[in-house]
Chains A and B, each alone.
Chain A
């Protein structure tokens, strides 16, 4: 299995280089001049030109890219064009906050989504099933902005139980993770339900029941473990999405994570930040994909790594 993991990691390198080239070129193709933005709208052309030179933006594109690549290999992601802070420092500060938010949202999604899905599957075609699926439908459909602002309205403004912004304590984490986790919860619930329904119709489940096992044991031990494989895939993909920064949630709750950083960087044409953040996000996806594949093997002994 270790060889398999190593192989996957090595294969990921070309992916990361590819991502870096695409991002590098794409952000320079969209109109908008970082030097002009930095200098302010009142700046003279002379000042803008000076800034462009000092940032090396007057060099040909391939030269700029090679410089960038050389520095990345040396572990130097450059400095933000906008506020001069080192990119690595900025990412190191922001990414853990996004990780914290993403993990909390995943916890919400798994702890609520999986039991809800099981409940709906085992009570198929009853009012319980309908209710769970209706709530799940709402969870996927409701706009993050609407949900976030309403949670703030209820818990921060009316009840004054929880803070509406900031990131310092676990109390700051509650509302954003509920907001961010809502859609994932719904997706996980729906996925668990359909996977469970499929497994519950299998022969071995009938066999288990025929043996006289308690329904609880049949569901938890025989059905659930087999139904979890697609659920884990979904959870892994969801986590990747959440880790790449939940822009809307981070904006509503003023959560200074990587999503907001990236959006602000795009608006300011802050090339080094955009490059650093996208590389980090791409690497995160690669790692998660490997992790999900490895997890399959642990859940399903039939899967072996060659």
Chain B
């Protein structure tokens, strides 16, 4: 049994970057009651296993719970599971004991049959759950061993599965409620997806599309720490400026994604607090590794030398970012810094490498970037353009609206005209496998996978394959480190930064959690009066 090994994995997660807490100094005793209003830029799309993005996940996380949870510090802890799972000796069966005596909001019991029903639903290809392959692709079947024990049978040893079980898209919903609502239809889990029923600290109450989602306290919550707020409300306020003003005017308690230009002003307001929590989202500029001049690693390295990422984070992002020192960010199992401080800024070295590669006379390239998708994305692209110029690289900026952008950067290698493009990747499972395999393994070339820059290194492939089956956390971490060092040296990307989530809060908000996986969690939040 590998229980001990899994415990060590979770301990390794604790090495995650220190995430600033959101509780103030010397907090008084929590007060129950009140309604917390959270202002965010978008509404949810669905509150079912058909969800695809964090605005869905953060609401689901309050209503329906997962078997395990990823703490903001990066630890995996049991939630609906009684304790950590047991792995069979061959690594192909994971046995999970469940907590007893828990009921869904509709009164039906939570048990092994409910877990099996949920996972079977997602695993059934006919149901077309979007995250089936990513999260449960390696699970072949689910067995109910007894009322409170399930066993997941794996196609091959797949260690990242434990992290996947913390993902909100694998939260356990009430099978009875799903049926009573009329089931879940692809692509968005309608009609159940509009009225979720789980075991969580808050019950679903109301959803006015494009405007608000209202949850209310679950007075029968099973957990040791009961929810304190009467209600949690998410309001969709698309304009950044208006969202910040709603916070200043006290109409919302929390405003997510505060634009960098507003942080200095808000910091002076004594009624408010600014929270900066690092995110697991890495922003990068990828090179088309199969297209000249980027087939030459010296050219790719030269671009990395030519850009001052620290200056970009300080000025363009107003400090709301962290210069990448590895292909993935801290807070992810398997992360370790490859080059502390990030790729050095050295224009002369860049020029020298370009000259060695036969581009002494300079280079003309086209840099694609999205606008409004990531924090200051267009401004970051402009800064990169300006800095490349000093190294003799003339980058032409080209932007597209997001839908067109996604399609344009997703063409197969023999057809794509793309030279270099900016994108972001959130390793939301909290495990390096999702952040490295999906991007750097050669089986993931676009359009089949997310390796849209056509990187291939057989040794990296081998290491990423191997790491999926290594249960010993130290060996696994060492394998990822080796893979990341190779990737770093090959420089398939211009490594930029990971984003910070800048959240504005009113002072009275206590114990709210801004999670690195880009979710605001009010499970134990309360309002000081």
A115 contacts the other chain (CB 8 A): no
Q: Which residues of B contact A43 (CB under 8 A)?
A: 52, 130
* A217-258 interface (Cβ within 8 A of B): 251-254, 256
Q: Give the A-B pair count, Cβ closer than 8 A.
A: 146
Q: Is the CB of B46 within 8 A of A31?
A: no
Whole-angstrom distance from the CB of A231 to the nearest CB of chain B?
33
Q: Is the CB of A253 within 8 A of B242?
A: yes
Q: Is the CB of A94 within 8 A of B210?
A: yes
Q: Which residues of B contact A38 (CB under 8 A)?
A: 52, 130, 187-188
Q: Which residues of B contact A251 (CB under 8 A)?
A: 238-239, 242
Q: Is the CB of A44 within 8 A of B133?
A: yes
- Contact indicator per residue, chain A 140-177, by CB within 8 Å of chain B (1) or not (0): 00000100110011001100100111110000000000
Q: Is the CB of B46 within 8 A of A84?
A: yes
Whole-angstrom distance from the CB of A275 to the nearest CB of chain B?
16
**A residues contacting the other copy or chain, number (CB 8 A):** 54
Q: Which residues of A contact B132 (CB under 8 A)?
A: 47
Whole-angstrom distance from the CB of B327 to the nearest CB of chain A?
16
A36–B411 CA distance with the chains assembled, in angstroms: 12
- Contact indicator per residue, chain B 174-211, by CB within 8 Å of chain A (1) or not (0): 00000000000111111101100000000000001111
Whole-angstrom distance from the CB of A61 to the nearest CB of chain B?
17
Q: Is the CB of A54 within 8 A of B248?
A: no
- Contact indicator per residue, chain A 27-52, by CB within 8 Å of chain B (1) or not (0): 00011111011111111111100110
Q: Is the CB of A149 within 8 A of B242?
A: yes
Q: Is the CB of A252 within 8 A of B403?
A: no
Whole-angstrom distance from the CB of A170 to the nearest CB of chain B?
17
Whole-angstrom distance from the CB of B145 to the nearest CB of chain A?
31
B128 contacts the other chain (CB 8 A): yes
Q: Which residues of B contact A79 (CB under 8 A)?
A: 190
- CB contact under 8 A between A148 and B210, given known A160-B249, A267-B401: no
In this complex, what residue of B is CB-closest to A159? B249
Q: Is the CB of B235 within 8 A of A165?
A: yes
Query: Of B188, B251, B407, B438, which contacts A164 at CB under 8 A?
Result: B251
Which one of B191, B251, B450 has the highest number of Cβ atoms from chain A below 10 Å of its Cβ? B251
- Contact indicator per residue, chain B 401-413, by CB within 8 Å of chain A (1) or not (0): 1111011101000
**B residues contacting the other copy or chain, number (CB 8 A):** 49
Q: Is the CB of B133 within 8 A of A46?
A: yes
B521 contacts the other chain (CB 8 A): no
Q: Is the CB of B403 within 8 A of A37?
A: yes
Q: Which residues of A contact B249 (CB under 8 A)?
A: 152, 156-157, 160, 164
B219 contacts the other chain (CB 8 A): no
Whole-angstrom distance from the CB of B527 to the nearest CB of chain A?
18
Q: Is the CB of A83 within 8 A of B245?
A: no
Q: Is the CB of B242 within 8 A of A33?
A: no
Q: Which residues of A contact B248 (CB under 8 A)?
A: 157
B102 contacts the other chain (CB 8 A): no
- CB contact under 8 A between A42 and B438, given known A85-B190, A267-B403: yes
Q: Which residues of A contact B241 (CB under 8 A)?
A: 145, 149, 252
A83–B438 CA distance with the chains assembled, in angstroms: 26
Query: Of B128, B188, B242, which contacts A165 at CB under 8 A?
Result: B242
Q: Is the CB of B406 within 8 A of A33?
A: yes
B17 contacts the other chain (CB 8 A): no
Q: Is the CB of B128 within 8 A of A50?
A: yes
B134 contacts the other chain (CB 8 A): yes
Q: Is the CB of A254 within 8 A of B128?
A: no
Q: Is the CB of B187 within 8 A of A30?
A: no
A298–B46 CA distance with the chains assembled, in angstroms: 51
A36–B448 CA distance with the chains assembled, in angstroms: 12
Q: Is the CB of B245 within 8 A of A152?
A: yes
* B118-159 interface (Cβ within 8 A of A): 128, 130, 132-134
Shortest beta-carbon contacts, A-B, top 3:
A32-B403, A84-B190, A40-B52
**Could you pull out 16 A-B pairs where Cβ atoms are within 8 angstroms?**
A31-B404, A39-B52, A42-B450, A43-B52, A45-B448, A50-B186, A81-B187, A94-B210, A153-B245, A157-B248, A165-B251, A251-B242, A252-B242, A254-B238, A256-B236, A267-B402
Taking A38-B130, A45-B449, A46-B133 as known contacts, 20 extra A-B pairs with beta carbons closer than 8 A to each other, sorted by chain A number, are A33-B406, A36-B410, A38-B188, A41-B406, A42-B134, A44-B134, A50-B128, A51-B128, A81-B187, A82-B188, A85-B194, A152-B249, A156-B251, A157-B248, A164-B245, A164-B249, A165-B251, A252-B239, A253-B242, A254-B239
Q: A-side interface residues toward B, CB under 8 Å?
A: 30-34, 36-47, 50-51, 54-55, 79, 81-85, 90, 93-94, 145, 148-149, 152-153, 156-157, 160, 163-167, 251-254, 256, 260-261, 264, 267-269
